């Protein structure tokens, strides 16, 4: 129920931030202007006694977010990858939220496993360890299979986590409604759509059967990727609340000291993380959308191992081409082309000026080139980008939220490995290769073949569909007439043809 009762939840959020000391710490880390600091503290201070106390042994921000619940913890996980935004000290503190949260008892986990698999744990495993990692939604145990002796990782959902997430998301919806009501200008950012997208992602993460399927599909796509490994899913030992996979042996990607001690080159690893993500997003349109340090390891041979497939991103082929052209335009410093792509894709309203938008993009991109990446303030860059989007009336693209969020996270991971890494230089070969394959002569031939197949499948029905549509348009239906499915079918046909290659052909020719 998204009613006024959520005011209480939001009040407790601010009160918890104030009571734990996180409010001051966060405002300092974000270098918030003095007026914002004064207003935020003034609103939260009277209610501080209502806030959750949290674990006093934790740093303030980590203490507050972990006390507030899983949805807030997810937010903290993103910030933990951005030392350039929140500062190195806070990023290190927030990293605890990735896989070092307080676990629930091993006996509770065993009971969940037995209920999910309908067998006693002792009949399946020789050993079943205490939790080796605990995150916001689930925790992981190391075990050994009784029949084969193979070491596996067993992931178990936290008790009651579904209810906790629904409560937080309910409050987020209420906050989005309040924001839209009080600030009509914020509606272009579509806060309700953003929350709806987040809700869909999270609810999918709460069903481990879907995560197992995601891991299987991801493995099929990346089987030939050099320097990349994935654990194998044990389908017979997995269910809605339990997932079993082969054990991934390696050094945590967030432990630079251990990586150095193992003799791995952190610069190479940072570049590989970025290039793997871009390759998966552009080549496959299916990517790991939760690539923080807590979900990545380095194998003894130097391969990067990814796990935890609860959040996966998908973008269609047209969006991939748009994204690639935008990235490549920035890489080539062709801001006019970047601006044109935004207009062609409908990201910027047609009544705006292309030249003005190109100049605004130049102000965003130029400071990046020829500068040591460690000297670039991502916080100031994001603030300027927000000003640009507001000025030109851009709306939030909900279909690209995961892609944008993951790009931020992955860049943060890469920079934590090698602070001087430059995302544009590392991205260039991957993006250039994709554009060559997706927009060159071979791609055009492939799209035309796909279009021909669609025409062959729907061709015999096309005359009747067109005739029915024209008759329906010429003769308005009576109010009591039962709707037909002609319109949706025709639209589906048109969409299939366009998606099959005509758009790509026009883009290539133009």
What are the pLDDT digits (tens) for 54-88? 888 888 888 888 888 877 887 777 666 666 556 66
86 & 121 share domain: no
Separation between Cα atoms, residue 361 and residue 352, nearest integer Å: 14
Q: What is the pLDDT of residue 117?
A: 93
- Residue 358 in any domain: the answer is yes
278 & 408 share domain: yes
229 & 258 share domain: no
- Residue 313 in any domain: the answer is yes
Q: What is the pLDDT of residue 301?
A: 93
Query: DSSP class of residue 443?
Result: H
The pLDDT mean for the chain works out to 79
Nearest to 54 by CA among 36, 72, 77: 72
Among 439, 462, 479, identify where a domain stops: 439
264 & 395 share domain: yes
322 & 416 share domain: yes
- Residue 261 in any domain: the answer is yes
366 & 428 share domain: yes
- Domain ranges, residue 449: 441-509
412 & 282 share domain: yes
| Dihedral class, residue 314 (left if φ above 0, else alpha if ψ from -120 to 50, else beta) | beta
322 & 187 share domain: no
C-beta atoms surrounding 101 within 10 Å? 23
- Residue 352 in any domain: the answer is yes
Q: What is the pLDDT of residue 265?
A: 95
Among 82, 99, 116, identify where a domain stops: 99
- Residue 331 in any domain: the answer is yes
Among 394, 422, 439, identify where a domain stops: 439
Q: What is the pLDDT of residue 315?
A: 87
Q: What is the pLDDT of residue 465?
A: 73
DSSP reduced 3-state for 179: helix
Separation between Cα atoms, residue 316 and residue 389, nearest integer Å: 23
> What is the sign, positive or negative, of the torsion defined by CA atoms of 323, 405, 295, 265?
positive
- Residue 177 in any domain: the answer is yes
Query: DSSP class of residue 133?
Result: E
Separation between Cα atoms, residue 144 and residue 129, nearest integer Å: 9
Q: What is the pLDDT of residue 487?
A: 36
Question: Which residues of the chain register pLDDT less than 70?
Answer: 1-5, 29-33, 36, 78-88, 98-100, 182-183, 185-189, 194, 368-387, 395-401, 440-444, 447, 455, 458-459, 475-510
* Number of domains comprising the chain: 4
- 84, 168, 170, 290: the catalytic one is 290
- Residue 167 in any domain: the answer is yes
350 & 413 share domain: yes
C-beta atoms surrounding 204 within 10 Å? 14
Q: Is 308 a residue of the active site?
A: no
315 & 388 share domain: yes
> What is the sign, positive or negative, of the torsion defined by CA atoms of 217, 222, 223, 228?
negative
Nearest to 108 by CA among 150, 178, 160: 160
Separation between Cα atoms, residue 461 and residue 444, nearest integer Å: 26
Q: Phi first, then psi: what are they for 435, rounded to 5°?
A: -60, -40
The token duo for 78 is: 């993103």
343 & 266 share domain: yes
**Is there a contact between 429 and 274 (Cβ–Cβ < 8 Å)?**
no
Separation between Cα atoms, residue 401 and residue 399, nearest integer Å: 6
**Is there a contact between 22 and 64 (Cβ–Cβ < 8 Å)?**
yes
- Residue 1 in any domain: the answer is no
Euclidean distance between the first and the last CA atom of the chain, given in angstroms as a whole number: 50
157 & 265 share domain: no
């Amino acid at each position: 129920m998204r009613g006024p009762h959520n005011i209480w939840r939001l009040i407790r959020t601010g009160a918890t931030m104030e009571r734990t000391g996180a409010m001051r710490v966060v405002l300092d880390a974000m270098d918030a202007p003095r007026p914002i600091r004064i207003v935020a503290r003034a609103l939260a201070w009277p209610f501080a006694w209502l806030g959750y106390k949290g674990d006093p042994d934790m740093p303030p921000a980590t203490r507050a977010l972990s006390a507030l619940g899983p949805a807030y913890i997810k937010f903290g996980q993103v910030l933990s990858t951005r030392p350039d935004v929140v500062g190195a000290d806070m990023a290190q503190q927030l990293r605890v939220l990735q896989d070092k949260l307080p676990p629930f008892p091993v006996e509770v986990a065993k009971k969940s496993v037995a209920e999910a698999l309908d067998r006693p744990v002792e009949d399946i495993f020789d050993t079943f360890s205490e939790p080796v990692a605990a995150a916001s939604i689930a925790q992981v145990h190391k075990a050994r299979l009784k029949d084969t002796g193979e070491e596996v990782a067993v992931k178990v959902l936290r008790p009651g986590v579904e209810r906790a997430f629904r409560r937080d998301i309910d409050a987020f919806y209420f906050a989005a409604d309040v924001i839209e009501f009080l600030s009509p200008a914020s509606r272009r950012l579509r806060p309700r759509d953003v929350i709806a997208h987040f809700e869909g992602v999270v609810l999918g993460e709460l069903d481990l059967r879907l995560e197992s399927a995601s891991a299987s599909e991801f493995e099929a796509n990346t089987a030939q990727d050099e320097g990349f490994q994935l654990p194998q899913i044990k389908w017979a030992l997995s269910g809605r609340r339990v997932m079993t996979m082969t054990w991934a042996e390696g050094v945590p990607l967030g432990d630079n000291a251990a990586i150095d001690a193992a003799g791995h080159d952190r610069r190479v690893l940072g570049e590989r993380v970025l290039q793997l993500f871009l390759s998966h997003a552009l080549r496959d349109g299916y990517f790991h959308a939760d690539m923080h340090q807590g979900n990545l390891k380095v194998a003894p041979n130097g391969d990067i191992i990814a796990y935890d497939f609860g959040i996966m991103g998908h973008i269609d082929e047209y969006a991939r081409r748009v994204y690639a052209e935008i990235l490549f335009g920035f890489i080539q410093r062709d801001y006019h082309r970047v601006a044109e792509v935004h207009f062609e894709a409908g990201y910027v309203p047609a009544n705006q000026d292309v030249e003005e938008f190109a100049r605004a993009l130049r102000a965003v991109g130029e400071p990046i080139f020829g500068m040591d990446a460690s000297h670039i303030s991502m916080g100031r860059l994001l603030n300027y980008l927000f000003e640009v989007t507001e000025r030109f009336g851009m709306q939030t693209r909900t279909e690209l939220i995961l892609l944008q969020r993951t790009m931020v996270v992955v860049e943060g991971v890469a920079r934590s490995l090698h602070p001087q890494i430059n995302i544009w230089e590392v991205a260039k070969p991957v993006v250039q290769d994709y554009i060559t394959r997706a927009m060159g002569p071979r791609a055009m031939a492939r799209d035309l073949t796909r279009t021909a197949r669609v025409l062959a499948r729907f061709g015999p029905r096309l005359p009747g569909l067109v005739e029915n549509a024209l008759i329906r348009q010429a003769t308005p239906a009576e109010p009591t007439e039962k709707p037909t499915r002609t319109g949706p079918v025709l639209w589906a046909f048109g969409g299939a043809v366009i998606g099959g290659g005509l758009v790509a052909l026009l883009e290539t020719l133009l």
